[in-house]
Amino acid sequence: MRQGVTRRELLAAGLALPFSGVAYAQLTCGELTAPQTEGPFFKTQSPRRVSLLEKDSVGERMILAGVVLSRACKPAANVLLDFWHSDDMGEYDNDGFRYRGHQFSDAEGRFRLETIVPARYPGRTRHLHVKVQAPQKRVLTTQIYFPGDPGNARDPLYRAALAMRKTAGEGRFDFVIDA
Protein backbone atom coordinates (compact mmCIF):
# COMPACT_ATOMS: atom_id res chain seq x y z
CA MET A 1 0.00 0.00 0.00
CA ARG A 2 1.39 3.40 -0.89
CA GLN A 3 2.28 5.76 1.89
CA GLY A 4 -0.05 8.56 2.85
CA VAL A 5 -3.25 6.70 2.07
CA THR A 6 -6.02 8.22 4.14
CA ARG A 7 -8.55 6.45 6.30
CA ARG A 8 -11.23 7.84 4.03
CA GLU A 9 -9.57 6.15 1.05
CA LEU A 10 -9.36 2.88 2.96
CA LEU A 11 -13.05 3.08 3.84
CA ALA A 12 -13.91 3.91 0.26
CA ALA A 13 -11.91 0.92 -0.92
CA GLY A 14 -13.67 -1.26 1.61
CA LEU A 15 -17.08 -0.03 0.49
CA ALA A 16 -16.12 -0.69 -3.11
CA LEU A 17 -15.29 -4.28 -2.21
CA PRO A 18 -18.18 -5.67 -0.14
CA PHE A 19 -16.41 -9.03 0.12
CA SER A 20 -13.05 -7.53 0.87
CA GLY A 21 -12.58 -9.87 3.84
CA VAL A 22 -12.84 -12.83 1.53
CA ALA A 23 -10.63 -11.13 -1.01
CA TYR A 24 -8.00 -10.58 1.63
CA ALA A 25 -8.10 -14.19 2.70
CA GLN A 26 -7.44 -15.20 -0.89
CA LEU A 27 -4.65 -12.71 -1.35
CA THR A 28 -1.45 -14.44 -2.35
CA CYS A 29 2.12 -13.29 -2.34
CA GLY A 30 2.36 -14.30 -5.96
CA GLU A 31 5.34 -16.14 -7.16
CA LEU A 32 7.63 -18.11 -4.94
CA THR A 33 11.11 -16.63 -4.65
CA ALA A 34 13.05 -17.98 -7.60
CA PRO A 35 15.71 -20.63 -6.99
CA GLN A 36 19.26 -20.22 -8.22
CA THR A 37 22.31 -22.42 -8.39
CA GLU A 38 24.03 -23.26 -5.12
CA GLY A 39 27.47 -22.70 -6.66
CA PRO A 40 30.62 -24.55 -5.59
CA PHE A 41 31.16 -23.06 -2.11
CA PHE A 42 28.29 -24.17 0.12
CA LYS A 43 29.32 -25.87 3.37
CA THR A 44 27.03 -27.63 5.81
CA GLN A 45 27.09 -27.01 9.57
CA SER A 46 27.57 -23.24 9.50
CA PRO A 47 27.44 -21.65 12.96
CA ARG A 48 24.15 -20.24 14.22
CA ARG A 49 24.58 -16.47 14.37
CA VAL A 50 22.87 -13.34 13.06
CA SER A 51 26.13 -11.40 12.68
CA LEU A 52 28.87 -12.67 10.40
CA LEU A 53 31.16 -9.79 11.37
CA GLU A 54 34.65 -10.80 12.49
CA LYS A 55 36.98 -8.78 14.70
CA ASP A 56 39.18 -8.15 11.68
CA SER A 57 36.42 -7.54 9.13
CA VAL A 58 37.46 -4.65 6.91
CA GLY A 59 34.65 -4.61 4.37
CA GLU A 60 31.77 -2.17 4.33
CA ARG A 61 29.16 -3.25 6.84
CA MET A 62 25.63 -4.03 5.77
CA ILE A 63 22.32 -5.29 7.09
CA LEU A 64 19.91 -7.50 5.20
CA ALA A 65 16.50 -7.73 6.83
CA GLY A 66 13.09 -8.93 5.79
CA VAL A 67 10.36 -11.43 6.39
CA VAL A 68 9.72 -14.94 5.21
CA LEU A 69 6.21 -15.41 3.88
CA SER A 70 4.20 -18.37 2.71
CA ARG A 71 2.57 -18.24 -0.69
CA ALA A 72 -0.62 -17.23 1.18
CA CYS A 73 1.23 -14.19 2.58
CA LYS A 74 1.40 -15.57 6.11
CA PRO A 75 4.59 -14.87 8.05
CA ALA A 76 6.56 -18.09 8.32
CA ALA A 77 8.15 -18.62 11.74
CA ASN A 78 11.15 -20.75 12.60
CA VAL A 79 12.39 -20.86 9.02
CA LEU A 80 16.04 -21.73 8.58
CA LEU A 81 18.06 -19.11 6.68
CA ASP A 82 21.62 -20.23 5.97
CA PHE A 83 23.76 -17.47 4.42
CA TRP A 84 27.21 -17.63 2.87
CA HIS A 85 29.13 -15.13 0.79
CA SER A 86 32.57 -14.03 -0.33
CA ASP A 87 34.77 -11.70 1.70
CA ASP A 88 35.95 -8.20 0.79
CA MET A 89 38.45 -9.75 -1.64
CA GLY A 90 35.93 -12.00 -3.37
CA GLU A 91 37.18 -15.14 -1.64
CA TYR A 92 35.12 -17.83 0.09
CA ASP A 93 36.35 -19.43 3.28
CA ASN A 94 36.34 -23.11 2.40
CA ASP A 95 38.43 -24.14 5.41
CA GLY A 96 36.45 -22.41 8.16
CA PHE A 97 33.20 -20.52 8.44
CA ARG A 98 34.02 -16.86 7.81
CA TYR A 99 30.95 -15.17 6.30
CA ARG A 100 28.85 -18.26 6.82
CA GLY A 101 26.04 -18.54 9.33
CA HIS A 102 22.48 -19.66 9.82
CA GLN A 103 19.56 -18.24 11.77
CA PHE A 104 15.82 -18.80 12.14
CA SER A 105 12.98 -16.43 11.38
CA ASP A 106 11.11 -15.20 14.47
CA ALA A 107 7.41 -15.59 15.30
CA GLU A 108 6.55 -12.81 12.83
CA GLY A 109 8.67 -14.36 10.10
CA ARG A 110 11.39 -11.76 10.45
CA PHE A 111 15.12 -12.24 9.99
CA ARG A 112 18.07 -9.84 10.19
CA LEU A 113 21.58 -10.51 8.97
CA GLU A 114 24.55 -8.32 9.84
CA THR A 115 27.63 -8.77 7.69
CA ILE A 116 29.97 -7.05 5.22
CA VAL A 117 29.30 -6.26 1.60
CA PRO A 118 30.89 -9.10 -0.36
CA ALA A 119 33.25 -8.29 -3.21
CA ARG A 120 32.63 -9.21 -6.82
CA TYR A 121 34.77 -12.02 -8.15
CA PRO A 122 35.58 -13.06 -11.71
CA GLY A 123 32.40 -13.76 -13.64
CA ARG A 124 30.08 -12.79 -10.78
CA THR A 125 28.40 -9.61 -9.69
CA ARG A 126 27.99 -8.89 -5.97
CA HIS A 127 25.68 -11.44 -4.31
CA LEU A 128 24.79 -13.33 -1.16
CA HIS A 129 23.99 -17.05 -1.21
CA VAL A 130 21.20 -18.38 0.96
CA LYS A 131 19.25 -21.54 1.67
CA VAL A 132 15.77 -21.03 3.14
CA GLN A 133 13.75 -23.88 4.60
CA ALA A 134 10.55 -24.00 6.62
CA PRO A 135 10.24 -26.93 9.04
CA GLN A 136 9.51 -30.17 7.19
CA LYS A 137 9.50 -28.36 3.83
CA ARG A 138 11.85 -28.39 0.89
CA VAL A 139 14.88 -26.15 0.71
CA LEU A 140 14.95 -23.04 -1.43
CA THR A 141 18.50 -22.31 -2.61
CA THR A 142 18.95 -18.88 -4.15
CA GLN A 143 21.09 -15.75 -4.34
CA ILE A 144 20.35 -12.16 -3.36
CA TYR A 145 21.71 -9.24 -5.40
CA PHE A 146 22.61 -5.60 -4.85
CA PRO A 147 20.50 -3.11 -6.84
CA GLY A 148 22.49 -0.75 -9.03
CA ASP A 149 25.69 -2.74 -8.83
CA PRO A 150 27.70 -2.16 -12.01
CA GLY A 151 28.42 -5.88 -12.22
CA ASN A 152 24.74 -6.85 -12.52
CA ALA A 153 24.45 -6.24 -16.25
CA ARG A 154 27.47 -8.45 -16.95
CA ASP A 155 26.35 -11.43 -14.85
CA PRO A 156 23.95 -13.79 -16.65
CA LEU A 157 22.77 -15.15 -13.29
CA TYR A 158 21.59 -11.72 -12.08
CA ARG A 159 17.81 -11.37 -11.66
CA ALA A 160 16.18 -8.06 -10.75
CA ALA A 161 13.50 -9.99 -8.83
CA LEU A 162 16.26 -11.24 -6.52
CA ALA A 163 17.74 -7.81 -5.82
CA MET A 164 17.32 -6.45 -2.31
CA ARG A 165 15.63 -3.08 -1.85
CA LYS A 166 17.50 -0.32 -0.10
CA THR A 167 15.54 1.22 2.77
CA ALA A 168 17.02 3.57 5.37
CA GLY A 169 20.52 2.27 4.84
CA GLU A 170 19.49 -1.36 5.10
CA GLY A 171 18.94 -3.99 2.47
CA ARG A 172 15.50 -5.50 2.53
CA PHE A 173 14.37 -8.75 0.97
CA ASP A 174 11.23 -10.75 1.64
CA PHE A 175 11.22 -14.42 0.77
CA VAL A 176 8.10 -16.24 -0.42
CA ILE A 177 8.53 -19.95 0.12
CA ASP A 178 6.75 -23.25 0.45
CA ALA A 179 5.89 -22.98 4.14
Which residues lie near Fe ion (CB under 5 A)? Answer: 39
CA distances from 12 to 1, 3, 27 (A): 14, 16, 19
CB of 40 to Fe ion, least distance (A): 8
Least separation in angstroms between CB 178 and Fe ion: 24
Q: Which is nearer to Fe ion, 39 or 59 (CB)?
A: 39
Q: Which residue is nearest to Fe ion (CB)?
A: 39
Smallest CA-to-CA distance from 96 within 45, 58, 143, 62 is with: 45
Nearer to Fe ion, 124 or 134 (CB): 124
Nearest approach, Cβ of residue 103 and Fe ion (Å): 19
Task: Give the residue with the Cβ less far from Fe ion, 104 or 121.
Answer: 121
Assign 8 to helix, strand or coil. Answer: helix
Number of H helices, E strands in the chain: 2, 9
